[in-house]
Amino acid sequence: GATKVLPIGQALLLSCCPVVEKEGSAASGDEDMLRYLLGDETGRIHLLVVGRKGGLVTNLHFETLGTASVSSALVYLGSGMVFVGSQFANSQLVQILDNPVPVSAVSNSESEESKDGVNPLEETTYLQTLEEYTNLGPIVDFDLRPTGDESKDDSAGTNYRQSVVVTCSGVAKDGTVRLVRNGVGMKEQAEVEMEGIKGMWSLRRGFDEQDDTFLVQSFVRETRILGVQSSKDLEMDGSTDMDDDEEEEEGGALAEVTIGGFNSSKSTLFAGNVSVGGADLLVQVVDDSVRIVDSTT
């Protein structure tokens, strides 16, 4: 009936894996010890050792090994090597060292920070990063910025300026600003100046259609909708001139339209296509109601 409580820092544990050495190794003979690696939301990797005797737990030992990327999954590969899989930063292959070493000895990018108030245990680590695997996600925001280099489009015979994608990647301590240039083949075809947009959703006229027809734009106090209209539709509506809210597209135009049943006087929280019993429906969610509209009428 004895209970032992281990103090663990105030951090949510995100991942766990057992430490199992290959048969015949030094650790495999210790049958009364169970070892687990735990990863928390701050990126720290902990070792939990469970001592057993006669099938009963007799003691617990908890030790922080060091800091890596915030882990979504941990896989122990044997011989002290651990794969740290992360959805929030670069995944890593790390080595668990037998003895602690200064953090500066295994980090290539040590920052100059004040030592005041720093936990002395965080100045050493049992982890050494052997390899990193680049992960741009999660991308919180990004922007396409032109560079000073120009390239020539031989097919069109025109020059265009190359662009670089600037991304805000990662979460919390692993947040970074990254520049992506190789493999980015983007050309700006059109630009529409619209300020204050809080959200956007594309809608199809039919649930099974491949091409989008409407672009729902949510503002603070209203909702606007842009729709792709053919030249014949514009002539029937008497719309011959394009205003600032319209942008010409190949085979048609992008113009401001209305969808019957949608509330345009409130900000939209969500819009999408659904299919119920073979009926093609459009859904709009606002702060006080959910509107379902038949897309065919």
The answer to whether the CB of 51 falls within 8 A of the CB of 32 is yes
103 backbone dihedrals φ, ψ, rounded to 5°: -60, -35
- pLDDT value for 131: 92
Q: Does position 234 have pLDDT exceeding 50, yes or no?
A: no
DSSP letter at 123 equals G
Q: How confident is the model at residue 100 (pLDDT cuts 50, 70, 90)?
A: confident
What single string gives the DSSP state of each residue in 1-68?
A: ---------S--EEEEEE--PPTTSGGGG-TTEEEEEEEETTSEEEEEEEEEETTEEEEEEEEEEEE-
- Rounded to an integer, the average pLDDT of 272-292 is 89
- Rounded to an integer, the average pLDDT of 85-89 is 89
pTM for the model stands at 0.52
R_g (Cα) of the chain, nearest Å: 28
CA dihedral (256, 259, 260, 266) in degrees, to 10, reads -80
Q: Does position 57 have pLDDT exceeding 60, yes or no?
A: yes
For tokens 């108030």, the residue is 117
- Rounded to an integer, the average pLDDT of 183-206 is 75
pLDDT digits (tens, 9 = 90+) for 204-223: 888 888 888 888 999 988 99
Amino acid in position 8: I
Does 152 or 273 have the greater pLDDT score? 273
- pLDDT value for 149: 58
| Distance (Å, whole) CA 93 – CA 90 | 10
- pLDDT value for 295: 79
Weakest mean pLDDT among 23-32, 92-101, 250-259: 23-32
pLDDT digits (tens, 9 = 90+) for 7-54: 666 677 788 888 887 654 444 444 578 889 999 888 889 998 888 887
pLDDT digits (tens, 9 = 90+) for 106-143: 654 444 443 444 444 458 888 999 999 988 888 888 88
